[in-house]
Amino acid sequence: MKCLTAEAQEDRGGKNGNRKQLAAAEKQAGLPVAPYMDPDLVVKSSSQLNFLHSILIPLVKELNHIFRELHVLLESAHRRSEHFSKIRQYELAQQEMDSICGSTSVITTSSSTVPITTITSTSVCHVMKSNVRVSLLLLLFN
């Protein structure tokens, strides 16, 4: 029986979680952290967009002048850029929801001193967050 490489083996799903926990523990311990490794600063979609727009797409455009076959790679890079832009929009909307929903308040409407309707901001936030998630799914699968 042949040995399987790491790429062919089943993904156990815990790799990224372990890295994030390790990075958080190192930062909490006060160890120096490079800016591109800081879990608080690095966002995958932003990193991918920066790489695509500053390195890959310009490189492939120039190489495409010499090697016409690379137009397929250029089209793929543009599709990936659109994909990560949609993810980034979702992440920004999620951050906005988190900042809005971070404070809890109670909204009451009344005609006198007795409230007729009481709506907590947490209940509104749950609805808003679910709407953002649905919007992401629609964006990603269109």
pLDDT greater than 50 at residue 118: no
Q: How far is CA 38 from the centre of its chain?
A: 15
- Which H or E element spans position 120? strand 117-120
**Could you identify the residue written with the tokens 């929009």?**
89
- Which H or E element spans position 109? strand 106-109
Between these two residues, 76 and 110, which has the higher pLDDT value? 76
* Count of other CB atoms within 10 angstroms of residue 84: 20
Q: 103 is written with which tokens?
A: 């404070």
pLDDT greater than 50 at residue 1: no
Cα separation, 90 vs 66, in Å, equals 37
Contact 88, 46 (CB under 8 A): yes
pLDDT greater than 90 at residue 77: yes
Contact 109, 115 (CB under 8 A): yes
Map out the domains of the chain as residue ranges.
21-140
Mean pLDDT, rounded, for 65-77: 94
For the entire predicted model, the pTM comes to 0.53
Q: 37 is written with which tokens?
A: 């490794």
Percent of the chain exceeding pLDDT 90 equals 24
Cα separation, 92 vs 77, in Å, equals 22
